[in-house]
Structures are given as structure tokens and as C-alpha cells.
């Protein structure tokens, strides 16, 4: 079995799903476990400044092997997996795909009807779940690619490079990945998050993002005597949802189109809490979405008597404005892809990465592919060839950076 696949299998067997209800950093102990494992592996490879800090962040340096002055690159991936499903994948399936639907178990299959791009993968070796867990390719494929590339560079000293910084972050999936990142001591001139999807993806635009929490205080009385007295907070929650644009929901949007997502609703007649997320690439439209929420709540408070509160918190912003002054790092990645026979796919991220936050913290940090598909669910899978290409791209970027 290829070394990169061995690494990947080892990493995905550790449950590192994050927990947004936890106040600790990292939010779950599995992330500390994986981070400690990676720190040990980095030390065994001979890297310097290897450290897992008290918050679970892992840092390391592969020192320059050239006298030439070369910009310092960072490569960053996240330790956690999505909290949407069990994150401990101990029974992955590895096979050559010969076409048709892929049966994960008796209940679940990856079907051609739902995922027609499968036809383009006939003949490829795939790694899937058994249908009961996440695979964890987001982002353990990124971690595996970085570790594999570093090992290759150490074994091939003929490839000249400057200092290379490694960073593994906790809790990216719950929006905290860059919160405690030690930018000052990381000391990279620029970086790449290795956290993308299909082969060729190169992204330096992402959503502006905000979270919305709405609380509705209703009034519950016996329904038999409720006329002109009852205020049903659940019904008001439905009213809020009905006032948002139907065509601006995730299931109806693509490309640069933003959305409102009803993420969670819990409550009763007496009291209801609603959580939304807002996403838009355009800052003006992003701000308008937030203002539209405030107008809806103000209107309903006038209607029902100030029984609704709203809290809107910005999460991250579009990294585009921080990357555009440094387009040479995009050109470096593009050129490296082309030299490997990979067609660059430059497109906006319909989500966010640690790179967006890091870019605003002073580390320009676009995102490159890992090769995975269908992240955040039981249908997640990755072609082994794609993961290897991600590793090869890291090596090529390092090589070209030193030329």
C-alpha cells in the first residue's frame, strides 16, 4: 500500500470531529490525540521547532537547504472533521472503481443519478466509507498530502527549497481554526491551506460569513382559552423563515450567489431559539442580508410587542482583497499545476477556510485541492491518485518557489 494511503488510514481512524458547544480549544480530545501523533511523526522526519501547543495547534519547520534567499512558505491543514456524523472511520473501503453505483452498505449507496461525475472516475482507485461514518478526507487528506510531501523533500535533497512552515489547526469546521494561530512565530511570507476539493481547485475568493441567533419569547396558555392571549413562538419562527427570499437558500444557489441557511430551530410555544448562517461573496450584498434580518425582526417586534431578540456575529470575510495584492502566489500555484499536467480550476469557495482568517491576520493564504468529494457526509470519498497529486503539487510549489 502506498505510504500516503497508510498515513491517511491511520489519521481517519482517530475521531476528531469538532464540537461547537464546547468552550475548550480544541473542542474535542481526539484533535489533541491526532496532533500529538503528527508532532511525533514530524520529529521522526527530522523537522525543527516541532510543537503542539496547549490549544492543540501543531507547528514545525523544514529548514532551507539552499544559500539562496527564498520566501518562506507555510502549508496548513485542519485536524478536525465535521460534527455532522461519526468521525472515526476504521472500516474504509479501497477498490478500483469499475462504474455504476457504489454500495456502501445495505442502506446507503453513492449513486450515478445523484453524483453523475462518478463516470469520470472509472478505473481510479477510490477510498470510501462503509456508510456509517465520515471518511475524514476533509481535511485528513490535506494533512496526509503535506506529510507525504515533506517526507519526499527530505528524501530528495536535490530539490532546493527555502524554509517551509507546517501548521495543523483545530476546530476549523466550527469556525475557530485561526482564532489562536500563532502568526507572529509562524514567520511565513505566505501560505496555502490544503483544504480544497477536486483536483485542480485553486481558490482565493470565499464567502463573507455571519451567524444569526434569534430568540422569541412567546406566551403559552391553555389552547381552549387562548383567543387574543396566546403568542406561539414556534409560529413566529415560521413567519420569520417565510419572510426570507425563497431563492436565496443553499439548495437554490451556486457560484457567486449567497444564501440564508436555517441551521437549527429548537423551542416550544413559550420560547424558541433559531440559528441561521448568512453567506455572500459580495460585501455589499452580505451587509444587505444582515440588514434585511434586522428589518424583519423590527417589523415583527412592532407587530407582536418586542418579544424577539437578534444577535448577528461576523465569522470571516472574503480573502480576495488580501490576496489580490499578492497574485504572484496564485501564479506560483497555477504554474506548478500546469507543470504537473493539472488544469487549474480557479473558482470561489462556497464556504470558508482558515486561509480567509489567516489572510486578514497578515498571512496571505489561498486554498489548494486535496482531491476529495462529497465532504461532510457518509458519501465522502477520495481517489488515491488525487491525494498523491496534492502531495506532488506541494513539492512542485516548493521547488518553483526556490527557482
Taking residue 48's Cβ as centre, other Cβ atoms within 10 Å add up to: 11
Q: Which whole-number Å values give the CA distances from 166 to 185, 190, 202, 394, in the listed order?
A: 12, 12, 19, 12
Q: Which whole-number Å values give the CA distances from 188 to 48, 191, 285, in the listed order?
A: 15, 7, 33
Q: Which of 132, 73, 83, 71 is nearest to 106 (CA)?
A: 132
Write out 188-210 in H/E/C secondary structure: CCEEEEEEECCCCEEECCECEEE
Q: Which of 361, 369, 360, 285 is nearest to 318 (CA)?
A: 360
Q: What is the dihedral of CA 385, 387, 389, 391, to 10 degrees?
A: -140
Catalytic position from the list 172, 195, 201, 203: 172
Q: What is the dihedral of CA 81, 356, 60, 153, to 10 degrees?
A: 90
Q: What is the dihedral of CA 83, 87, 92, 94, to 10 degrees?
A: 50
Cell of 362: 497578515
Q: Is 139 a catalytic residue?
A: no
Kind of pairing, strands 201-203 and 271-280?
unpaired
Q: How far apart are CA 182 and CA 169, in angstroms?
A: 10
Catalytic position from the list 15, 80, 171, 203: 80
Residues catalogued as catalytic: 80, 172
Amino acid at each position: 500500500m502506498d505510504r500516503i494511503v497508510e498515513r491517511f488510514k491511520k489519521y481517519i481512524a482517530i475521531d476528531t470531529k469538532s464540537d461547537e458547544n464546547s468552550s475548550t480549544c480544541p473542542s474535542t480530545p481526539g484533535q489533541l490525540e491526532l496532533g500529538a501523533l503528527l508532532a511525533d511523526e514530524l520529529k521522526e522526519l527530522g523537522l525543527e521547532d516541532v510543537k503542539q501547543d496547549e490549544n492543540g495547534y501543531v507547528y514545525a519547520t523544514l529548514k532551507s537547504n539552499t544559500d539562496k534567499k527564498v520566501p518562506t512558505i507555510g502549508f496548513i491543514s485542519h485536524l478536525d472533521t465535521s460534527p455532522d456524523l461519526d468521525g472515526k472511520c476504521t472500516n474504509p473501503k479501497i477498490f478500483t472503481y469499475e462504474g455504476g453505483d457504489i454500495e456502501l452498505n445495505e442502506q446507503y449507496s453513492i449513486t450515478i443519478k445523484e453524483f453523475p461525475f462518478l463516470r469520470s472516475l472509472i478505473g481510479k482507485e477510490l477510498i470510501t466509507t462503509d456508510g456509517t461514518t465520515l471518511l475524514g478526507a476533509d481535511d485528513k487528506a490535506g494533512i496526509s498530502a503535506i506529510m507525504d510531501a515533506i517526507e519526499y523533500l527530505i528524501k530528495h535533497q536535490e530539490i532546493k527549497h527555502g524554509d517551509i512552515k507546517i501548521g495543523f489547526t483545530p476546530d476549523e469546521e466550527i469556525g475557530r481554526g485561526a482564532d489562536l494561530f500563532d502568526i507572529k512565530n509562524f514567520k511565513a511570507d505566505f501560505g496555502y491551506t490544503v483544504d480544497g476539493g477536486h483536483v485542480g481547485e485553486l481558490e482565493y475568493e470565499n464567502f463573507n460569513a455571519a451567524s444569526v441567533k434569534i430568540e422569541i419569547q412567546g406566551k403559552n396558555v391553555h389552547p381552549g382559552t387562548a383567543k387574543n392571549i396566546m403568542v406561539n413562538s414556534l409560529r413566529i419562527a415560521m413567519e420569520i423563515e417565510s419572510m426570507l427570499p425563497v431563492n436565496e437558500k443553499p439548495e437554490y444557489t451556486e457560484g457567486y450567489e449567497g444564501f440564508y441557511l436555517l441551521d437549527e430551530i429548537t423551542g416550544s410555544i413559550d420560547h424558541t431559539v433559531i440559528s441561521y448562517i448568512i453567506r455572500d461573496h459580495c460585501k455589499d450584498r452580505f451587509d444587505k442580508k444582515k440588514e434585511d434580518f434586522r428589518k424583519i425582526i423590527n417589523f415583527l417586534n412592532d407587530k407582536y410587542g418586542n418579544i424577539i431578540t437578534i444577535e448577528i456575529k461576523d465569522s470571516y470575510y472574503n480573502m480576495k482583497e488580501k490576496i489580490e495584492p499578492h497574485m504572484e502566489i496564485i501564479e506560483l500555484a497555477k504554474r506548478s499545476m500546469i507543470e504537473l499536467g493539472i488544469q487549474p480550476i480557479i473558482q470561489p469557495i462556497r464556504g470558508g477556510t482558515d486561509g480567509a482568517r489567516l489572510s486578514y491576520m497578515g498571512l496571505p493564504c489561498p486554498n489548494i485541492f486535496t482531491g476529495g468529494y462529497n465532504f461532510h457526509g457518509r458519501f465522502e470519498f477520495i481517489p488515491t491518485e488525487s491525494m498523491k497529486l496534492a502531495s506532488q503539487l506541494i513539492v512542485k510549489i516548493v521547488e518553483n518557489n526556490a527557482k
